Amino acid sequence: MRIDILTLFPNMFEGVFNESIIKRAIEEKKVEINIINFRDYTKDPHNKVDDTPYGGGAGMVLTCQPIFDCVESIRTENSKVILLTPAGIPYKQKMAYELSNEKHLIIICGHYEGFDERITTICDYEISIGDYVLTGGEIPAMVLVDSITRLLPGVINEESHREDSFKKDVMNDIYLLDYPTYTKPADFRGLKVPEVLISGHHENIRKFRYEESLKRTKERRPDLLEVKK
């Protein structure tokens, strides 16, 4: 997979993409990640990429020209263009799986007060990572890249992400939070590991984990238990 990230602040990505699983995925050529400063594409004589909004209002708005030109210079028939915006659809694990099957993603990081609405005409997705406002799209871009990269074949053990939170209960067409996990010692300051987990009875362990996933989801995210029609 190839991921191109359009941003005004390319240095923000250095630490995140040079550590841990993403770094290894890049080194093993499971994913190619390019950070592109779309200011390099502006035709403004003063190197500007933003301007005041029509109709008045606070802040500056990203202009069409540099972003259009940048996307058009790298887009292929296999590209999917993502605009990160608080007004986008909520990002879910299901979408991470869908995007992990694409060959080329172009992610546009917004900044300042927003972007010219016409930029949405060159995008396939408008995505939000939550109901809050950040200073820019760089951190959401990192979230997308991390959540997608770990799902690519060979990046991590497949069983690891099949047992993630938000795994799908196919039989009931719902998504569940992950079950609680424990490690040694079996008794820490009087806090004991559930007996079933050290019983060695695999079927009982499977049932216990499913029930705990269901219980946790009911308590914390009952919305996930709504069967999608």
Catalytic residue numbers, as ranges: 86, 113, 150, 164
| Token pair 């569940």: residue | 176
Q: Sort residue 200 into left (φ over 0), alpha (ψ -120 to 50) or beta.
A: left
3-state secondary structure the chain: CEEEEEECCHHHHHHHHCCHHHHHHHHCCCCEEEEEEHHHHCCCCCCCCEECCCCCCCCCEECHHHHHHHHHHHCCCCEEEEEEEEEEEECCHHHHHHHHCCCEEEEEECECCEECHHHHHHCCEEEECCCCCCCECHHHHHHHHHHHHCCCCCCCCHHHHHCCCCEEECCCCEEECCCCCCCCCCEECCEECCHHHHCCCHHHHHHHHHHHHHHHHHHHCHHHHCCCC
State the amino acid at position 107 in one-letter form: I
State the amino acid at position 216 in one-letter form: R
